[in-house]
Amino acid sequence: MIPVQNIYYMLAYAFQVLNKNGYKDIAAEQFNNVRELCAAILTRGVSLQLKRGLGKEYIPQTEPLSSLRGKIDISESMKTQSMLRKQLVCAYDDFTVNSFMNRILKSTMELLIRSDISKPRKKELRKLLIFFSDVDSVDVHDINWRLQYNRNNQSYRMLISTCYLVIKGLLQSNTTGGSKLMDFLDEQRMCRLYERFILEYYRKEHPEIKASASQIPWQLDDDFDSMLPVMQTDIMLSKGNTTLIIDAKYYGHTTQNQYGVNSIHSGNLYQIFTYVKNKDAAYGDQPHTVSGMLLYAQTDEIVQPNHVYHMSGNKITVRTLDLNQPFSQIAAQLDSIVVSHFE
Q: Which residues of the chain have pLDDT under 50?
A: 172-184
Residues 6 or more apart whose Cβ sits within 8 Å of residue 189: 164, 165, 168, 169
Query: Which candidate, 323, 341, 331, 343, places its Cα nearest to that of 245?
Result: 341
pLDDT, residue 22, reads: 65
**What are 321-338's pLDDT values in tens digits?**
999 998 999 999 999 999
Residue 78 exposed, middle or buried by CB count within 10 Å (0-12, 13-18, 19+): exposed
Instruction: Count other C-beta atoms under 10 Å from residue 128's C-beta.
Output: 17
Give yes or no for a contact between 163 and 105, defined as CB atoms under 8 angstroms apart.
yes
pLDDT, residue 272, reads: 97
> What are the domain boundaries of the chain?
4-55+101-185, 57-96, 188-342
Q: What is d(CA 75, CA 168) in angstroms, rounded to the nearest whole number?
A: 43
pLDDT, residue 51, reads: 93
Phi then psi dihedrals of residue 12, to 5 deg: -65, -35
pLDDT, residue 19, reads: 63
pLDDT, residue 32, reads: 75
Give yes or no for a contact between 292 and 317, defined as CB atoms under 8 angstroms apart.
yes
pLDDT, residue 84, reads: 75
pLDDT, residue 174, reads: 38
User: Which string of DSSP letters, residue by residue, matches 85-131?
Assistant: GT-EEEEEEEEES--HHHHHHHHHHHHHHTSS--HHHHHHHHHHHGG
pLDDT, residue 301, reads: 85
pLDDT, residue 180, reads: 35
CATH for 188-342 is: 3.40.1350
pLDDT, residue 201, reads: 95
The identity of residue 191, as a single letter, is C
Angle between helices 100-113 and 119-129 (to 10 degrees): 150
